[in-house]
Structure 1
């Protein structure tokens, strides 16, 4: 799989544009992905904050991650406009029968595919060498375009999760 997603991000959005990453509980089919892209494009084109258009972007990456982005350099995103994006994701859950808010299922690149692993199983996966410190981890807590570009997909050892589950390195 081609993991280079950065070239698909809008170039005209500021580095501090707000980002929300939603991870699906399963891969979307090709037909679902096409339908989903239409929903996301329609939402982004009509996203408003207190009646003012939001410079928005929405897409599906790797068949499993919905990325929403708002460039607030023109219009700030209010609570109501954030709520509308959450409603969209909840609608997607209903339409496609997926879970989009499960933060305890973590995503890794294993054998060139996105694989989900319950957080409670990460240590077991490490001990049994299903993953290691260099396994690519999807850090879905990124909050800006710049963080998305630089810290979304990173080796486990460089992530917040790695600090929790990997043995501490001793200086010698």
Structure 2
């Protein structure tokens, strides 16, 4: 599963295409997944910046993350067009009673499943053996397609959290 997600990204987008990752506080049901992807498609197929079409894409990865991407090769994404993307995300939050802006929870890939933990419980999870230094963590602060491909899923020991937790006895 962890390698398949890369094939879902648009291959024709520049490596420096801008990326936004929104993490849901819970997995989506099959029905929600389909409905959300339809709404995202409707949004990005009509996305504009100062009247010019934005080459955009959005999708759901690992049944928990909404990833938006804008290739600015031809059209720069303005503040107003970025605001419009945030509006659709906030609308999805209201419609589906989800939280997509919680930055205090961290998601790990455990047995090919995206599992979320509150930041304050990570050390406990390490101490109990639920996760370890090699467990993959989702780095949702990636900014480009290249970073998404190379730095979104990294082992805990290579992540920004490495200095904040103790992974060895």
CA distance in 2, matches of 1:26, 1:13: 29
CA distance in 2, matches of 1:166, 1:10: 37
CA distance in 1, matches of 2:82, 2:63: 23
State the Cα distance separating 1:167 from its structure 2 match: 5.7
Q: TM-score, normalised by structure 2?
A: 0.95
State the Cα distance separating 1:62 from its structure 2 match: 1.3
CA distance in 1, matches of 2:167, 2:57: 39
State the Cα distance separating 1:8 from its structure 2 match: 1.2
Moved segments of 4+, more than 6 Å:
none
How many equivalent residue pairs? 167
State the Cα distance separating 1:120 from its structure 2 match: 0.8
Query: Contact between 1:157 and 1:166, CA under 8 Å: does it hold in 2?
Result: no
Q: TM-score, normalised by structure 1?
A: 0.94
CA distance in 1, matches of 2:21, 2:33: 16
State the Cα distance separating 1:117 from its structure 2 match: 0.3
Q: Report the counterpart of residue 131 of structure 2 in structure 1.
A: 131
Q: Report the counterpart of residue 14 of structure 2 in structure 1.
A: 14
Query: Contact between 2:15 and 2:144, CA under 8 Å: does it hold in 1?
Result: yes
Unaligned runs of 5+ in 2: none
Query: Contact between 1:24 and 1:100, CA under 8 Å: does it hold in 2?
Result: yes
Q: Report the counterpart of residue 82 of structure 1 in structure 2.
A: 82
Query: Contact between 2:133 and 2:167, CA under 8 Å: does it hold in 1?
Result: no
Unaligned runs of 5+ in 1: none
